[in-house]
């Protein structure tokens, strides 16, 4: 972070001849653009005021370096790589108007590039106006047109009339080629028979013209195929006779009516080496391959009857398309469903391999088994039913617990009296015996009396013992729940 007077440069924006930084004003905290000028450059007059031109705040020196600070309003960010057509049109309109205002004052910008343009979503701002950049009026508008074309991804994506304006600004900047530099297309010269070095040195114009009959070279022109004169047989070149041996017709191909027949005028294939036969057939192993129906073939002359000098070429066999033979209908002796269920639908197939003509036997996957209840399912079901029946019987035969007693009925108030007067001493209340369902055991301490004693919510007969120092232990019986809510008085001897 470099200080420039009251401003601090935080990030380099443009590294041109005049370095550009983005920074802040240390006094106000507002963002600014700082331009560090080289030595010996004089500042031009103040730039005009325009909404699309950044306002110059101050021109000062920091040490031996001169700087210029321009205001950057909040919300402005660097120009993005791409903009929609309407936003690009706004950039072109606003900055073009600002440049025309600047040019009207006799000044040029000279640095209309992406680092000098800022965008807040609606307004474009051009920084560095009025600095001693080296520029021209035409170069400013051409640079702006090129920048807007980049924002749109090409001039062809610009809407009208922006496309016409961009093309008018970019047309002078396109490289042009001189007419003499364009490649010439010369038609090829006709191939003429060699007549000597004298004719090779002739001009091309003379070679294109047809020579007179007297200047034709002394050689005989023979046509490729002589015409048949009336009354004479056609003269044909002597060529060795060729006999083509046709292969057996493909039963699969002949039985398929959808396959079109070869045209009669189609040239016969001529190959010195027959194409090897490659066949892949799927057939049932039980029945074996079935012999296809033989189609009558026209008789051809035997090889022994062919004259010498006649070349015999075997036509290549037509490739057989792999077909799967239809399964035979089930015989009456084997009705559907007989035999093991796992073998139903499993067929042994024999597959021929094209590479080494070996065979292997493969079984098709068995048919899916029908879902049903097996003995395991029945056993599990019976076990679950028996378990549920046992639980229900145990719950039914279980003795019912005694009726629950509310919590209020089991709080008993005890008092110690002697001669009809209350005794202020405290005695211990012990359990001698308790009901079977109670969790108290003989000898357990219930508490100190006089006072309330809370019993568990279990009704029944309790035998209690009152133990007081200086008195003999005294036992009494208490039945819960108590019929009356009166306190229990214990008479001391």
Name 436's Cβ contacts closer than 8 Å, sequence gap at least 6.
460
Q: Which of 186, 166, 184, 182 is nearest to 174 (CA)?
A: 166
Report the pLDDT value the prediction gives residue 479, as an integer from 0 to 100: 84
Instruction: Copy the structure tokens of residue 482.
Output: 């108590």
Per-position b or e across 80-113, b if 16+ CB within 10 A of its CB: eeebeeebbbbbbebbbebbebbeeeebbbbbbb
Please list the helix, strand and coil fractions of the chain in percent, rounded to the nearest 5, in that order: 20, 25, 55
Instruction: Give the mean pLDDT of 241-256.
Output: 50
CA 59 to CA 81: how far, in whole Å? 32
pTM for the whole structure:
0.38
Instruction: Copy the structure tokens of residue 285.
Output: 């192993």
Report the pLDDT value the prediction gives residue 383, as an integer from 0 to 100: 94
Report the pLDDT value the prediction gives residue 333, as an integer from 0 to 100: 44
> With 0-12 CB in 10 A as exposed, 13-18 as middle and 19+ as buried, what is 437?
exposed
CA 356 to CA 336: how far, in whole Å? 38
CA 69 to CA 55: how far, in whole Å? 9
Name 53's Cβ contacts closer than 8 Å, sequence gap at least 6.
47, 98, 101, 102, 125, 126, 129
SS3 391: helix
Q: How many CB atoms lie within 10 A of CB 414?
A: 21
Instruction: Copy the structure tokens of residue 335.
Output: 């009705």
Report the pLDDT value the prediction gives residue 317, as an integer from 0 to 100: 52
Domain boundaries of the chain, sorted by first residue: 2-71, 77-170, 407-491
CATH of 77-170, picked from 1.10.510.10, 3.40.50.970, 3.40.50.20, 1.10.420.10, is: 1.10.510.10
Q: Looking at domain 2-71, what is its CATH homologous superfamily? A: Phosphorylase Kinase; domain 1 (3.30.200.20)
Give the bridge partners for 118, in sequence order: 78, 125
254-306: pLDDT as tens digits: 444 444 444 445 555 555 455 444 444 444 444 554 555 555 555 555 555 55
Q: By mean pLDDT, which of 48-62, 135-149, 238-252 is the weakest?
A: 238-252
Taking all residues of the chain, what is their mean pLDDT, rounded to a whole number? 71
Report the pLDDT value the prediction gives residue 260, as an integer from 0 to 100: 47
The gap between the terminal CA atoms of the chain, to the nearest Å, is: 104
Report the pLDDT value the prediction gives residue 206, as an integer from 0 to 100: 42
Pairing mode of beta strands 124-126, 488-491: unpaired
Which spans in 5-126 are helix H? 85-104
Cis status of the peptide bond prior to 450, with omega within 30 of 0: yes
Report the pLDDT value the prediction gives residue 380, as an integer from 0 to 100: 93
311-365: pLDDT as tens digits: 555 555 555 444 444 445 544 444 444 444 444 444 555 555 556 665 655 555 6
Instruction: Give the mean pLDDT of 189-206.
Output: 47
CA 138 to CA 42: how far, in whole Å? 23
Predicted confidence band of residue 65 (pLDDT cuts 50, 70, 90): confident
CA 381 to CA 166: how far, in whole Å? 86
Yes or no: say if 285 and 215 are a contact pair by the CB < 8 Å rule.
Answer: no
Q: How many CB atoms lie within 10 A of CB 273?
A: 8
Angle between helices 85-104 and 137-152 (to 10 degrees): 170
Give the bridge partners for 411, in sequence order: 454
In CATH, the architecture of 407-491 is Sandwich (2.60)
Report the pLDDT value the prediction gives residue 93, as an integer from 0 to 100: 94
Statement: residue 452 has pLDDT above 60: yes
Predicted confidence band of residue 136 (pLDDT cuts 50, 70, 90): confident
Report the pLDDT value the prediction gives residue 62, as an integer from 0 to 100: 87
Name 350's Cβ contacts closer than 8 Å, sequence gap at least 6.
282, 283, 284, 285, 359, 360, 361
Domains 2-71 and 407-491 share a fold: no
Yes or no: say if 24 and 3 are a contact pair by the CB < 8 Å rule.
Answer: no
Instruction: Give the mean pLDDT of 400-407.
Output: 50
85-121: pLDDT as tens digits: 999 999 999 999 999 999 998 899 999 999 999 999 9
CA 24 to CA 31: how far, in whole Å? 4
Angle between helices 85-104 and 162-170 (to 10 degrees): 50
């Amino acid at each position: 972070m470099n200080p420039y007077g009251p401003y601090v440069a935080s990030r380099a924006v443009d590294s041109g001849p005049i370095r550009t930084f983005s920074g802040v004003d240390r006094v106000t905290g507002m963002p600014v653009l700082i331009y560090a000028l080289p030595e010996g450059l004089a500042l031009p007059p103040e730039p005009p005021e325009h909404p699309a031109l950044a306002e110059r705040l101050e021109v000062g020196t920091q040490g031996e370096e001169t700087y210029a600070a321009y205001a950057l309003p909040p919300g402005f960010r660097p120009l993005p790589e791409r903009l929609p057509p309407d936003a690009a049109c706004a950039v072109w309109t606003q900055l073009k108007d600002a440049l025309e205002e600047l040019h009207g004052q006799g000044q040029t910008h000279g640095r209309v590039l992406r680092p000098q343009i800022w965008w807040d979503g609606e307004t474009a701002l051009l920084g560095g106006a009025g600095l001693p950049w080296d520029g021209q009026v035409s170069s400013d508008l051409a640079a702006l047109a090129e920048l807007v074309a980049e924002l749109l991804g090409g001039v062809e994506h610009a809407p009208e009339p922006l496309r016409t304006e961009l093309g008018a600004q970019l047309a002078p900047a396109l490289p042009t080629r001189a007419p003499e530099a364009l490649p010439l297309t010369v038609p090829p010269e006709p191939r003429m028979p060699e007549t000597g070095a004298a004719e090779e040195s002739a001009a091309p114009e003379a070679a294109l013209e047809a020579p007179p009959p007297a200047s034709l070279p002394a050689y005989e022109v023979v046509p490729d195929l002589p015409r048949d004169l009336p009354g004479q047989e056609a003269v044909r070149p002597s060529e060795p006779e060729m006999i083509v041996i046709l292969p057996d017709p493909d039963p699969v191909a002949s039985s398929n009516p959808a396959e079109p027949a070869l045209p009669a005028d189609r040239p016969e294939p001529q190959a010195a080496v027959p194409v090897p036969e490659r066949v892949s057939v799927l057939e049932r192993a039980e029945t074996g391959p079935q012999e296809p129906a033989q189609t009558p073939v026209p008789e051809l002359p035997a090889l022994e009857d062919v004259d010498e000098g006649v070349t015999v070429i075997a036509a290549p066999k037509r490739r057989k398309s792999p077909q799967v033979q239809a399964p035979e209908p089930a015989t009456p002796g084997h009705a559907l469903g007989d035999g093991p269920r796992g073998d139903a639908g499993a067929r042994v197939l024999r597959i021929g391999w094209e590479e080494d003509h070996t065979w292997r036997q493969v079984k098709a996957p068995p048919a899916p088994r029908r879902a049903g209840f097996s003995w395991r399912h029945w056993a599990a079901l019976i076990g679950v039913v028996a378990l549920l029946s046992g639980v229900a019987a145990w719950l039914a035969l279980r003795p019912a617990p005694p009726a629950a007693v509310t919590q209020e009925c089991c709080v008993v108030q005890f008092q110690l009296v002697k001669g009809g007067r209350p005794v202020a001493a405290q005695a211990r209340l012990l359990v001698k015996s308790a009901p079977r369902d109670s969790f108290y055991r003989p000898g357990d301490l219930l508490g100190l009396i006089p006072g309330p004693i809370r019993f568990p919510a279990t009704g029944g007969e309790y035998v209690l013992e009152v133990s007081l120092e200086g008195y003999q232990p005294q036992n009494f019986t208490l039945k819960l729940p108590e019929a009356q809510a009166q306190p229990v008085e214990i008479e001391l001897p």
